[in-house]
Amino acid sequence: MEQLTIFDFEKLYGKEHIPIAKAFWLDEQPITQPFRYKKMIEVLLYHHAGKYGQNAYLEALRTYNNDVYERFKETIHLLVFMTKESLGAIQAFSIGLPFSLEGFCIKDEYTTLFKDTEFGKVFRYERDLEKILTELISDFAWCYSLEGESFEVKNQAKMTNGTIDILISNENSAIVFELKKGTAKRADVFQVLDYSKSQELKGKRIERVLVAKRFEDDVLGLANDLSVSCISYSIGYNYSDPYFLFLVSRENHVEDNEIFSRYIDDGYEWGDVFDDQVVLGEFIHPYFNGSLKDFYISKIDELEREITAINTLTNKILVSAEGGNSCANGPSEN
């Protein structure tokens, strides 16, 4: 019989993670369906990413992907056949049912956060850079409050001239941030300048900041002419630690950007500095930094929906088969 017992789980993933197995009732009965196995390991991976980092995450991921097909080979083939024959790939995908072997495997979502380049790690998506930076500079909201200069931090602020990635503002001042995950271009400097001239910011004292992985000299020259502060970023990491360091370096100094310059100066004076880079803060992988309890509940909800869909599909097949048998046998005689 194809199954996963709590002893199998302990052997594969370690005794210390038994509480996660118990949360999926593995101590009461073995798992006999691969989709329940998958949901349990997704919770385990979420836990590993947030507590141990990349190495533990990838080890558990490889263990599961190597084990699930060998352990539930016949069940997987049956489920895939039922799904394809009765629903088709498109409908199966729309209701969340696996329709291939790959659907029972788990994709690596940890190492996809960055791309490795000749200049170091670069965010794969600017939305992740924006989310992390927004959280790290949220102290702008209170760090000048004692001087009567409290600020509000917003991301994706819609203006007449476009959508500003991060806007830090109060009644008198505004700092406009434009973010680029890779190398900054001259057009990016003009973009932050254009955003800063939006009608909604009229009457405020404006400062402009462009954040990117790196800057060429011609871009820095243009930024100086247009009073745009340029900040490069880099990522510090350890494969056995869940925390990443977000480091920034000031590539130019714009006297007009008094508030932002003071913020960065404070970082260099009071923060940790390595090779002329100041540690702006640390962060956990943004795909795994939520509540484990909430993630577990979401996976239980998904599991219940999948079980309901599989049961409905099975009943549909059984009814269809019984109908076919009745037709084959002809009408019954009284």
Instruction: Tell me whether residue 269 is in a domain.
Output: yes
Specify whether 297 is located in the same domain as 158.
Answer: no
The CATH number covering residue 149 comes to 3.40.1350.10
CB atoms within 10 A of CB 164: 27
Query: Is 329 within the bounds of a domain?
Result: no
Cα angle value 222/168/260 (rounded, 5°) = 50
The distance of Cα 82 from the centroid of its chain, to the nearest Å, equals 33
pLDDT band at 314 (very low <50, low <70, confident <90, very high): confident
Question: Is 239 within the bounds of a domain?
Answer: yes
Q: Are residues 146 and 280 in the same domain?
A: yes
Cβ partners under 8 Å of residue 255, min gap 6: 261
Quick check: 98 pLDDT over 80? no
Whether residue 105 is found in the same domain as residue 74? yes
On whether the CB atoms of residues 232 and 251 are closer than 8 A, the answer is yes
What gap in Å lies between CA 19 and CA 333, rounded to an integer?
A: 59
Task: Name the residue range of residue 170's domain.
Answer: 114-284
- The answer to whether residues 192 and 155 belong to one domain is yes
In a domain? residue 1: no
- For residue 25, tell me if it sits in a domain: yes
Query: Which of residues 94 and 14 earns the better pLDDT score?
Result: 14
Residue-level pLDDT at 334 = 38
Give the model's pLDDT for residue 164: 98
With respect to residue 334, please indicate whether it lies within any of the assigned structural domains: no
How many domains does one find in the chain?
Answer: 2
Confidence of residue 102 (pLDDT cuts 50, 70, 90): confident
Instruction: State mean pLDDT over 309-325.
Output: 69
Answer yes or no: do 299 and 272 share one domain.
no
pTM: 0.87
Q: Is residue 333 part of a domain?
A: no
**In a domain? residue 37:** yes
Q: What is the pLDDT of residues 118-160, one digit of tens each?
A: 999 999 999 999 999 999 998 876 666 555 668 899 999 999 9
Q: Are 127 and 166 part of one and the same domain?
A: yes
The helix/strand/coil state of 96 is: coil
**What angle is formed at CA 100 by the lines to CA 95 and CA 101, rounded to 5 degrees?**
125
Verify that 126 and 216 share a domain, yes or no: yes
Q: Any idea what DSSP says for residue 120? A: E
* DSSP one-letter string for 226-249: TTEEEEEEEEE--TT-SEEEEEEE
Residue 315 exposed, middle or buried by CB count within 10 Å (0-12, 13-18, 19+): exposed
Q: What is the mean pLDDT of residues 85-104?
A: 71
The DSSP line for 48-77 is: HHHHT-HHHHHHHHHHHHHHHHHHSHHHHH
Residue 65 has pLDDT above 90, yes or no: yes
pLDDT tens digits, residue range 227-284?
999 999 999 999 999 999 999 999 999 999 999 999 999 999 989 999 999 999 999 9
- Tell me what pLDDT residue 83 has: 76
- For the segment 52-73, the average pLDDT, to the nearest whole number, is 97
* 126/197 same-domain check: yes
Q: What is the pLDDT of residue 103?
A: 87
- 172 and 216 assigned to the same domain: yes
Q: Are residues 209 and 246 in the same domain?
A: yes
CB 184 within 8 A of CB 214: yes
User: What share of the chain has pLDDT > 90, as a percent?
Assistant: 75
DSSP state of 104: G
> How high is the mean pLDDT of the chain?
90
Claim to verify: residue 247 and residue 172 sit in the same structural domain: yes
Q: Are residues 13 and 134 in the same domain?
A: no
Say which residue, 34 or 329, is predicted with more confidence. Answer: 34
| pLDDT > 90? residue 43 | yes
- Identify the CA nearest to 279 among candidates 270, 288, 292: 270
